[in-house]
Amino acid sequence: MTGEGARPRPLVAGNWKMNGRRSAIAEAKAVADALAARETPPRADILVCPPATLVMVMAEILKDAPLAIGAQDCHWVESGAHTGDLSAEILADAGASAIIVGHSERRAYHDETDLLVKSKQQAVHRAGLTAIVCIGETKGQRLAGQTIDVVVRQLERSLCDATTPENTVVAYEPVWAIGTGLTPTNADVADVHAAIRDRLVARFGEAGHAIRILYGGSVKPQNAKELMAVANVDGALVGGASLKAADFLGIIAAYE
């Protein structure tokens, strides 16, 4: 895909975080069944990122479904003495097609730096999967007028030089909007996404136009259509509202 006019195919991704026992598989199955039953498929790729324990079973159950399975984090090396960790290769072997890296909860609670996030992005590429690289400002940074600076700096440092539209998706998630019911105004979302797009094009040339930029943070069925219509918003990264089939389908409906 080339040129400023060509919009990338959107992606609606659900991040279940530390939620979801076996019983939750039914929710993803209900989403898949509803999508499969439609005459016209949504104009978006759909991804669900459950806890790692469910990746393999869901990838198997949903292997023919119009919905892919991803993971929420990975280690940066391929294998070895890293008790409790999962490599991108292990997650690929389990059936994940994408891995979220650098989520603000990883950055905040596990002290992940941009440099580490970049190593993880490279690990995801090494395993042949798509990295969803998250960036976003805190409330304090927004109030201090630093949003664009912070986001562009995180983008610059968290992405490796081998970034392409196929191997990487960027997710802009303002930290203060996550799980709070608060969202930036459409104008604020447009400003940040335009700054991200400019930086992607400056660094990666024409390919920068085709790299998907998702918005995340309190996306709900009620606000999805409006948010997804903002320029340079190429889909959503959804937390809480991805846990229930009806809500997630309500968000996917923005792409009907």
Q: Which of 27, 89, 103, 112 is catalytic?
A: 103
Whole-angstrom distance, CA of residue 188 vs CA of residue 249: 26
Residue from 240, 247, 248, 254 touching ligand 13P (CB under 6 A): that is 240
> Of 15, 154, 158, 163, which lies in the binding site for ligand 13P, with binding defined by CB under 6 A?
15
Instruction: Decide: is 174 part of the binding site for ligand 13P (CB under 6 A).
Output: no
- Taking the least distance from each CB to ligand 13P, the nearer of 16 and 204 is 16
Is 173 labeled as catalytic in the residue annotation? yes
The dihedral region occupied by 151, where left means phi > 0, alpha psi between -120 and 50, and beta the remainder, is: alpha
Q: Which of 125, 232, 239, 255 binds ligand 13P (CB under 6 A)?
A: 239
* Residues 187-216, interacting with ligand 13P (CB under 6 A): 216
Smallest separation, CB 79 to ligand 13P (Å): 27
Residue 179 interacting with ligand 13P (CB under 6 A): yes
Are 91 and 55 contacting, i.e. CB atoms less than 8 angstroms apart?
Answer: yes
Q: Which of 105, 173, 193, 209 does the annotation list as catalytic?
A: 173
Q: How far is the CB of 72 from ligand 13P (least distance, A)?
A: 8
Query: In the complex with ligand 13P, which residue's Cβ is closer, 204 or 255?
Result: 255
82 is catalytic: no
Min separation Cβ 166 and ligand 13P, Å: 21
Stretch that binds ligand 13P, among 77-85, 145-153, 235-243, 246-254 (CB under 6 A): 235-243
Q: Return the residue nearest ligand 13P (CB atom).
A: 239
Residues forming contacts to ligand 13P in the complex (CB under 6 A) are 15, 103, 173, 178-179, 216-219, 237-241
Active site residues: 103, 173
